[in-house]
Structure 1
Amino acid sequence: MPPLNSTNNTESENVYNCPPIKHVPFPRSTSYYLQSEITDEFLQFAFSFLAASFQFLHLYRTVWWLPDTHMHQTVNFHLIDKSVALFLLILLSRRFWYSICITCVDLMVTKKRLYRMRLVLRYVFFFVITILLGICCVDIYFKHNNRVVYMCYPIIVYVIIFHFNIEPFLRTVYEGDMIYINGSPLHCCSTNPSAIRTEIDSLKKDFNNRFKQVIFTTLFNAYYGSVIPCFFVQNFVFYDIWITTFHMAFVLVGGFTTSTMFCLPANYCDVMHRAALHLGGWTRIDHRVASPATPWSKTTVWPNGSVVKYSGDFYRSHGLTTTAIPSNSYDNKFYMFFQNPAHIYTILSLIQVVIIVTQLFVLYFATEWHQMLSLGFLVLCNYFTLFKMIRDFFLTQRIYESESNIYARNLSN
């Protein structure tokens, strides 16, 4: 099949010759109601902080219900190191307080001074948090000596992932070099292949940053929310290792799905989907089954089913239009991954169902009150995440199924 335009065509000529790509309007009013950053950060803080609280409950619970005991509280609060608890509270809540500060600055400062004020706020807030955490670490060092190094392990992971960038430490989702509206990058429909590939490169960078944030946030919250309390437990305190280990695993996996839902909401994946439709993809084929091929050109928009020759190999395009580079595996993966984002929510929903079933199974055999309370909290949190996943799955599936039917009719005509 011949290309849609010659290599010397202008963008206006591309628009005239290209088959139209009409995106189905995404119902933004039902997509999380464009949930605010403050709400997202508060939910993540509440999950991680309550996970740490229940881990302390596993470690320091009492037998207050026995008639001959002198205990009148459910937890031995005097055994909990106050500096460790304060360190966890400051660290786990930093993004929530920073999101409130950012919102206040946005409301009070004019647009001309907004960037400068945000920059000042970022460094001032980071300096204050560092000072408070340093004071806690000094007190922990005098009490526990070398065990204070346990607090610093995630710093190594952070430097490896984000280098010395402060923004990922203070925000779960932060803007890159693109134009953002309500926390999602803005998609620009274009028929210029170079502009499409440039946009895809920016979107891939933004997605990689979000995925790295998911991994770091999951490990960070699970480490400080469930592992650190065990490192500073008193030597004479007896606790159930199996229950604390199960709690760590559930917080880790549950935190991963929760962070993924916050970093990759449905309206964000819709932007990636729209860009993927303009990008298209290539499948490498054998030269014996290749029809007369056309040399691939970087300035050409190729229709569905085009056969091109690139670097001595033959490729067939798939998608309504294709502007990707045939040998670029990252472009093909981007197209396959976001061609139908409903598959993402299908996988996440299956993972979440497995987590909930496992937690219910463990809860069924739990015999102590603190185990039931902790597992009940985790199950309720995972039910909330599962509800959001299933809602996004049905929403995106219906939208993209209708869109596929429209494009199928266009290809047949």
Structure 2
Amino acid sequence: MRSIRRTSVANQRNISGSNMSPSLNGQNNHKSAIFSEGMNLNYMRTYQSDPNSPKHISISYVSSDHSLIYESVVLFYSLSAFLLQILHLYRTVWWLPQSYEKNAVKFYLVNPYVIGFVLTLIIPRWLWTCCKTLITSIFPQSLQEGSKQYCQIILLAALGAIHFYLLFLISAEDANEDKSYIKGNPLFRLGCLLYPTFVMATTYREEIRTYLELIPNQTGVNDVMLCSSQLQHRCSNDPVQVRQEVETLRKDFNCRLRNVLFHSHMVAVTCTLLPCCFAQTFVHFDMHVAIQHFVLVWAGSLTLNAVHAFPPKYCDMLHSAARHLGYWERMGANTSPNMHCAEWCSRTIWKQGSHVLFDSVVYRARSDLNSAEPGSIHHKRFYALFINAALFQISLLVFQLVLVLLQLILLFRSTEWYQMISLSLLQASGGYALFKLMRDAVVVWRLSLAEEMLKNA
């Protein structure tokens, strides 16, 4: 009886499986549609119709912190760099019995207008993140976009008015001050004040509102999860779509890199160089230490911004697009009569080893699949930079490790107490970026190993 029951149950399962085959096929079609949209899932994205299509393993976790936490860390780092430079300039010998100073720093010599001017340059991103978080938590979904735009305009107008008002007060103070207390040419000091504003105007001449965002939002990017359809790897077999996707990712990467370099330069200039320009004539400081502090702050700010702007999921998306793009090697003019070369077609995916003729020049396909345009310098750079999934993250990690090692060497060689405090705090602040870079580099490196195993299987 048990065998009969098992046979009947098996028959019922077979019958139900045959009846459910259309629904299963529908589910498979639905999964293939999901694959084509490039959703971030825990399984591989691949086309079953083309066995030669590159197989990808997506990253299932988000390593980026919340924007408010990240901006708070950046603000703390910027304020620490500014206060440490003030320590370098206005330190005292308060421990000596003959000293009339009771504090370690002569705060009364610091120009309060300069402090406000520096704050108007380093605090806007943190203020905008707070406003954005508040709007998201209070207003409904339908009113959030409009509220953010109005809040952004009001914030930029208020900060701009305060910025130029402080600039006017500093200029008027220099004009009324005794010439013996002015260090350097007043026009040079005015140029130092206008330099950050000039760089900002030239960098963001098209859209000044993008100054408040480290990650560009014109394509609908969220700083925590890359949920925009324009910035998802679609895993398409159409070479035209592959080139369009690469062009979108290339522009977005260049925009992020520009923002990282600009904000790093802005923090280093405003927090380390501006205080030196407004030091009084009787204030003597070590120029070598001040320049060293500028370089260390710039490098630390660069890695801190790059960690947030280029998370592993974003680099994996660029790597997947590079595998679909491919690479063409220039062979030279078509001089051999025995070489068979076909005319390059924009709607054809070329296999490895194919020879094509483009603008009277012969190119050979070097990767498995090639959708790139022969002779395009943008496609060549994109492929060289992102074909290795771990190259970008490991490069940032090596840069940060060299920076930490340099800070350790300078700390061991320093003899002054204020230099020890400055280097120790900078090294402690860089621990946040070092930890995230080590974790991200390990994740991306293991991902690249898994893809190599999948490719060789």
Q: 2:390, 2:441 within 8 Å by CA — same for their partners in 1?
A: yes
Aligned partner of 1:231 among 269, 272, 277: 277
Q: Residue 8 of structure 1 aligns with which residue?
A: none
Within 5 Å, give how 1:162-177 maps onto structure 2: 162-177=204-219
Which one-letter code corresponds to 2:54 in the other structure?
A: I
Q: Which runs of 5+ in 2 are unaligned?
A: 1-35, 37-46, 176-185
1:7 aligned residue: none
Deviates more, 1:99-108 or 1:121-130: 99-108
With over 3 angstroms needed to count, the CA separation of the structure-2 counterparts of 1:305 and 1:180, relative to structure 1, is: farther
Partner of 1:352: 400
8 Å CA contact retained: 2:210, 2:217: no
Q: 2:254 is matched with which residue?
A: 208
Cα RMSD over matched residues?
Answer: 2.2
Amino acid at match of 2:429: C
Query: Paired residue for 1:157?
Result: 199
The number of residue pairs the alignment matches comes to 394
Q: 1-side partners of 2:310 and 2:426: how far apart?
A: 22
Match for residue 425 of structure 2 among 357, 366, 377: 377
CA distance in 1, matches of 2:137, 2:286: 49
8 Å contact from structure 1 (residues 60, 76) kept in 2: yes
TM-aligned CA deviation for residue 162 of structure 1: 2.3
Q: Report the 3-state secondary structure (helix = DSSP H, G, I; strand = E; otherwise coil) of the residue aligned with 1:324.
A: coil
Question: Does residue 271 of the first structure (1) align with residue 317 of the second (2)?
Answer: yes
Q: Distance in 2 between matches of 1:343 and 1:289?
A: 40
Deviation, 1:171, is 1.5
C-alpha contact 2:53 2:237 (8 A) present in aligned 1:
no
- Give the drift of 1:390: 2.1
Question: How many angstroms does 1:59 deviate by?
Answer: 0.5
Residue identity in the other structure for 1:43:
V
Which segment is superposed worse, 140-149 or 293-302?
A: 140-149
Whole-Å Cα distance in 2 between the matches of residues 65 and 180 of structure 1?
Answer: 51
Residue of structure 1 in register with 2:143 after alignment: 113
User: Which secondary structure state, in structure 1, belongs to the residue aligned with residue 215 of structure 2?
Assistant: coil
Relative to 1, partners in 2 of residues 1:335 and 1:289: Cα closer, same or farther, differing over 3 Å? farther
Deviation (angstroms), 1:98: 0.4
Q: Is the alpha carbon distance of 1:387 and 1:129 closer, same or farther for their aligned partners in structure 2, counting shifts above 3 Å?
A: same
Secondary structure of the structure 1 residue equivalent to 2:53: coil
The structure with higher relative contact order (CA 8 Å, sep 6+) is 1
Instruction: Determine whether 1:405 maps to 2:453.
Output: yes
- Verify the 8 A CA contact 2:67 2:224 in the aligned structure 1: no
CA contact (8 A) 2:215 2:221 kept: no
Contact 2:216 2:252 in 1 (8 A): no
User: What is the TM-score normalised by the length of structure 1?
Assistant: 0.89
CA distance in 2, matches of 1:220, 1:346: 25
1:6-17 matches, within 5 Å, as 16-17=49-50
* 2:159 counterpart (129, 152, 155): 129
Which residue in 2 is equivalent to 1:104? 134
Matched, 1:197 2:243: yes
CA contact (8 A) 2:75 2:126 kept: yes
Map of 2:96 onto structure 1: 66
Larger radius of gyration: 2
In 1, Cα distance between the equivalents of 2:58 and 2:250? 23
289 and 35 in structure 1: CA distance in 2 versus 1, 3 angstrom threshold:
farther
Q: Provide, for residues 241-293 of structure 1, a one-character-per-residue CA deviation record: whole Å limited to 9, x for no partner.
A: 22112111111222222222222121211111121122112112255599533
Match of 1:84 in 2: 114
**1:364 counterpart residue number:** 412
Whether contact under 8 Å (1:167, 1:174) holds in the other structure is no
2:340 corresponds to:
292
3-state SS of paired residue (2:374):
coil
Residue of structure 2 in register with 1:45 after alignment: 75
Query: What's the secondary structure of 2:356's corresponding residue?
Result: strand
- SS of corresponding position for 2:364: strand
Alpha-carbon deviation of 1:179? 6.0
- Distance in 2, matches of 1:107 and 1:306, equals 55
CA distance in 2, matches of 1:289, 1:345: 46
1:180 Cα deviation from its structure 2 partner? 5.2
Quick one: distance in 1 between partners of 2:411 and 2:137? 46
- Structure 2 residue 354 is the aligned partner of structure 1 residue 306: yes
Cα deviation per residue 1:360-388 (whole Å; 9 max; x = unaligned)?
22211212211100011112223332222
In structure 1, C-alpha distance between the alignment counterparts of 2:396 and 2:362, rounded to whole Å: 36
Secondary structure of residue in 2 paired with 1:157: helix
Maintained 8 Å contact 2:329/2:366: yes
Identity of aligned residues (%): 27
AA aligned to 1:116 is: G
Q: 1:402 to 1:283 in 2, by over 3 A?
A: same
Retained in 1: the 8 A contact 2:92–2:103?
yes
Kindly provide the amino acid, as one letter, of the partner of residue 286 in structure 2: D
1:8-28 C-alpha deviation (Å, 9 max, x unpaired): xxx9xx983462333202131
> CA 1:43 to 1:403, structure 2 compared with 1: closer, same or farther past 3 Å?
same
Aligned partners of 1:253, 1:232: CA distance in 2, in Å? 24
- For residues 327-346 of structure 1, the aligned pairs below 5 Å read 327-346=375-394
Q: 1:294 to 1:407 in 2, by over 3 A?
A: farther
Give the equivalent residue in structure 2 for 1:188. 234
Distance in 2, matches of 1:133 and 1:164, equals 21
